[in-house]
Structure 1
Amino acid sequence: MVRAVGSAPLTVAWLAILVATTRRQQAAGRRGSKRIQREHSTNLQKLSTEPSRVLVTSAFYLDGRSWWPYVPVFAGVVAPAERRLGSLRWLLVGALAHVGATYVGQGHLLARIRRGSAPRRLVNARDVGVSYVVLGLAGALSGYVPRAWRTRTQLVVGGALAVNAAARPTATEVGHLSAFAIGLAVSPWVPDRDARPYPDLASLSPREQT
């Protein structure tokens, strides 16, 4: 456990903050939770008045229901990405994906509102969460998939997100595709990608007894 924490300290710290903010929302009740989420949302209204604050704080809030379903995602994607990229690169990739996908998704929403295909009330929609960071890290982490499967894996995941965005062209779904694409764009330059494969099947196989 200590080794796991030490090898991915930012992942552990991020998850701990999410636990705390989720409990805060639960304690605030349903109305209070919605108010908190809206206060930290990266919606069009907040991005036009206080973008720096909400771009940071939105990544530390979930939808207020529970935090434990995110543990497998953090263990299977976020922590392995930090171990391979290093904490600084991990932070930069995650931030780039979060900010870039937010503006692409909200820009798409603004265009839909101007065309009359989305209601204007969505300028103040609740929009918090970790998905853009996670998908950006997943895109970068795909660079560590063994060569034989790398391109196919990237095409399958990217294709699924593209189909989803086409079927449901919301700001969130367009943002998901954008976040993965940003991570994918940096994947050819990730360090030691052939030396540290993902998933690391060798570490999961039984060790020989000596």
Structure 2
Amino acid sequence: MRWPAVLLRLKVTIAYSVLAATAAILVGHLGPHAQWHVLLRASTNLRNLGDGHVGTLVASAFLTDGEPNWVWLGAVALLFAVAEWISGSTRFLLAFAAGHVGATVLVAAGLFVGIHADWLEDSLAVAVDVGVSYAAAAVAGSLIRYLRGPWRVLWAGGWLALVGASAIADPSFTAFGHATALCIGLTLGGYFLHHDAKALRDRYIADAATESVHPTSAMTSL
């Protein structure tokens, strides 16, 4: 396969990786106060979402809190490349968006209830919450569609154990978000599996019906 075809097949991953790396470099060159201000404005915290700043749902996915972690960004880029390569750009984007937006909205709803019920601190409403980890969790979960038999159980169980252990070690709203995003991804993977199986079954039935209506030449010559 030629390089242009490879680049076209990974176009979403490449575009995201370039934009995320550029954002990391630019934000990294800012002073501490300016950096904090940018991250706060782009955060998907309860205050921003409540004020109608829905653009943060997009901007937050390209930023990281603190110093850029290039190992993490590289691992995410690799995960995204594998997912887009085997599932296609449309399904990859669907898993990305569903995980990032869906988990963010559910986390915000949980914070809203918790803060107004005095279960959580008011300061969480303005916490800095940026990053692509929710999307990455959902994309990882959606890959269950492309595994077979017991590997699906191992894949799902491994990721659930990982996010569960992280939640126990650091019980926070982001841990809940990662678990939620993973469940969204696993649900999407199950839907993809059902959808593809149904499409294959319908095609088999259609082919069988066509053959019964139009018998082969060997049969008609008898």
TM-score range, shorter chain: 0.7 to 0.9
- Greater Cα offset, 173-182 or 87-96: 87-96
Match for residue 132 of structure 1 among 131, 134, 149: 134
**C-alpha distance after superposition, 1:52-89 (max 9, x if no partner):** 211111111112412521112311x1111111221122
- Greater Cα offset, 168-177 or 113-122: 113-122
Residue number in structure 2 paired with 1:60: 62
Partner of 1:116: helix, strand, or coil? coil
Partner of 1:28: helix, strand, or coil? coil
2:144 touches 2:190 (CA, 8 Å); kept in 1? no
Residue number in structure 2 paired with 1:73: 76
TM-score, L = length of structure 2 = 0.79
1:105 touches 1:170 (CA, 8 Å); kept in 2? no
**Any gaps of 5 or more consecutive residues in structure 2?**
198-222
- Greater Cα offset, 137-146 or 38-47: 137-146
Q: Find out whether 1:12 has 2:14 as its counterpart.
A: yes
**C-alpha distance after superposition, 1:30-68 (max 9, x if no partner):** 221111110100000111112421111111111241252
1:42 touches 1:55 (CA, 8 Å); kept in 2? yes
1:104 touches 1:174 (CA, 8 Å); kept in 2? no
Residue number in structure 2 paired with 1:197: none
Query: Which AA in structure 2 matches 1:143?
Result: R
CA distance in 2, matches of 1:31, 1:99: 28
Partner of 1:31: helix, strand, or coil? helix
Number of aligned residues = 193
Match for residue 26 of structure 1 among 25, 28, 44: 28
- Greater Cα offset, 108-117 or 4-13: 108-117
Residue number in structure 1 paired with 2:111: 109
CA distance in 1, matches of 2:170, 2:67: 23
**Any gaps of 5 or more consecutive residues in structure 1?**
195-210
- Greater Cα offset, 179-188 or 113-122: 113-122
CA distance in 2, matches of 1:193, 1:29: 50
Once the two structures are TM-superposed, the CA of residue 4 in structure 1 deviates from its matched residue by 4.3
Larger C-alpha radius of gyration, 1 or 2?
A: 2
TM-score, L = length of structure 1 = 0.83
Write out aligned runs for 1:33-182 (5 A). 33-69=35-71, 70-75=73-78, 77-165=79-167, 168-182=170-184
1:135 touches 1:179 (CA, 8 Å); kept in 2? yes
Displacement over 4 Å in runs of 4+ = 191-194
Partner of 1:63: helix, strand, or coil? coil
1:109 touches 1:170 (CA, 8 Å); kept in 2? no
CA distance in 1, matches of 2:126, 2:80: 29
Once the two structures are TM-superposed, the CA of residue 118 in structure 1 deviates from its matched residue by 2.4
CA distance in 2, matches of 1:124, 1:64: 17
1:93 touches 1:136 (CA, 8 Å); kept in 2? yes
